[in-house]
Amino acid sequence: MGEPLARAPGSARMAVGMTNGAQDGGTTGTTRVYLTGGLRVVGPGGSLDGAELPGPQARVALVALVLERAPMSFDRLADLLWDGAPPTKWKGALAAVVSKVRAGLASTGLDGSRVLASNAGAYAVHLPGDAWVDVEDAIRRVDRAEAAVRRGDPERALPDAVVASAILRRPLLSGLWSEWIVDQRARLEAIHHRCLAVLAQGALDRGDPGMAAVQAQAMVDLDPLREVGHRLLAAAEVARGDRAAAVRALDRCRTVLADELGVRPSPETLALSDSLRS
């Protein structure tokens, strides 16, 4: 069935959240799908761990179809599963992978053929209407948290941001490596970065610069090329009375942008740096 997906050459970066472990936000649905921190499907009649699906392609297929939530053509799915180099007889290999996923879903009490349906040369996942998916819930929560911050209500933003961070800090398809997986991890990291910004700003607004610094440092660790994390870290250091640490934070921002991209910080970052030195 073709070569398995390559193992990652290094460990994934993990950001610091405000809670440990996963939360599902009190979902009442009988079907729950956990894509991060280890693939797991909980259905009305049991549960399926990703490790129970034979082969990495089966795990990636289920994750991809749940994340996409739209029909995916046979050839695109095959290209995704074998990272651009599907086997010669890829149609039969793909059908075998899908059969394994359907059998796994059936073990949870779901109708595998209805949940993972085939139509007009494409596969699509159709979960029950009350199904809960961790990544989808996290994205909704980050959107709500940011909206609350824009309304000037950081306290309302905090619970959603905490739960979203607990979900998004966990790795997607840990131990597997392909172009599609890398792209999806980058997408989720960008959403997590937004979530951490809410947490950092919220901590500043609550007068907790120590926690703000923790969250801002997590932003910098997650993506050192995004300046907002450096600015929030500097603001947190100023709030706890350490202007020298704030200056160093912005100096590191200047250095990493120059080294990695050959550019200067934005006018906003430069203005903050100048104000701290004056």
pLDDT digits (tens, 9 = 90+) for 39-66: 999 999 999 999 999 889 999 999 999 9
The CATH number of whichever domain residue 267 belongs to comes to 1.25.40.10
Residue type (1 letter), 61:
A
226: pLDDT strictly greater than 60: yes
Are 145 and 84 members of one domain?
A: no
pLDDT for position 16: 37
Are 128 and 139 members of one domain?
A: no
Q: Burial-class residue 216 by CB neighbours within 10 Å (0-12, 13-18, 19+).
A: buried
pLDDT for position 274: 93
Query: How many other C-beta atoms are found inside a 10 Å radius of the C-beta of residue 261?
Result: 9
Give 232-244 pLDDT, tens digit per residue: 999 999 999 999 9
Characterize the bridge pairing of strands 132-133 and 32-34.
Answer: parallel
**Alpha carbon distance, N-terminus to C-terminus of the chain:** 64
Are 179 and 239 members of one domain?
A: yes
> What's this model's pTM, rounded to 2 decimal places?
0.85
pLDDT band at 187 (very low <50, low <70, confident <90, very high): very high
Are 144 and 268 members of one domain?
A: yes
Are 144 and 247 members of one domain?
A: yes
Are 144 and 267 members of one domain?
A: yes
Selected residue with higher pLDDT from 158 and 5: 158
18: pLDDT strictly greater than 80: no
Does some domain include residue 50? yes
State which of 115, 132, 149 marks the end of a domain: 132
Are 96 and 139 members of one domain?
A: no
11: pLDDT strictly greater than 50: no
22: pLDDT strictly greater than 50: no
Does some domain include residue 26? no
pLDDT for position 14: 32
Are 217 and 191 members of one domain?
A: yes
Does some domain include residue 255? yes
Q: Which of 166, 160, 167 is nearest to 146 (CA)?
A: 160
- Structural domain count of the chain: 2
Are 65 and 190 members of one domain?
A: no
Q: Which of 148, 157, 163 is nearest to 27 (CA)?
A: 163
Q: Which of 71-75, 149-153, 206-210, 242-246 shows the lowest mean pLDDT across its residues? A: 149-153
Spatial distance between the Cα atoms of 8 and 176, rounded to a whole number of angstroms: 6
Are 253 and 267 members of one domain?
A: yes
Are 126 and 165 members of one domain?
A: no
Does some domain include residue 48? yes
Does some domain include residue 259? yes
Does some domain include residue 165? yes
Question: What is the extent of the structural domain holding 169?
Answer: 133-277
pLDDT for position 29: 63
Does some domain include residue 5? no
pLDDT for position 21: 37
The CATH number of whichever domain residue 88 belongs to comes to 1.10.10.10
Are 143 and 171 members of one domain?
A: yes
Q: What is the average per-residue pLDDT within 137-142?
A: 98
Residue type (1 letter), 191:
I
Does some domain include residue 8? no
Share of the chain above pLDDT 90, in %: 83
State which of 98, 132, 166 marks the end of a domain: 132
9: pLDDT strictly greater than 90: no
Helix (H, G, I), strand (E, B) or coil at 92: helix
State which of 102, 132, 162 marks the end of a domain: 132
In order, the DSSP letters of 165-225 are HHHHTSPBSTT-B-HHHHHHHHHHHHHHHHHHHHHHHHHHHTT-HHHHHHHHHHHHHH-TT
pLDDT for position 183: 96
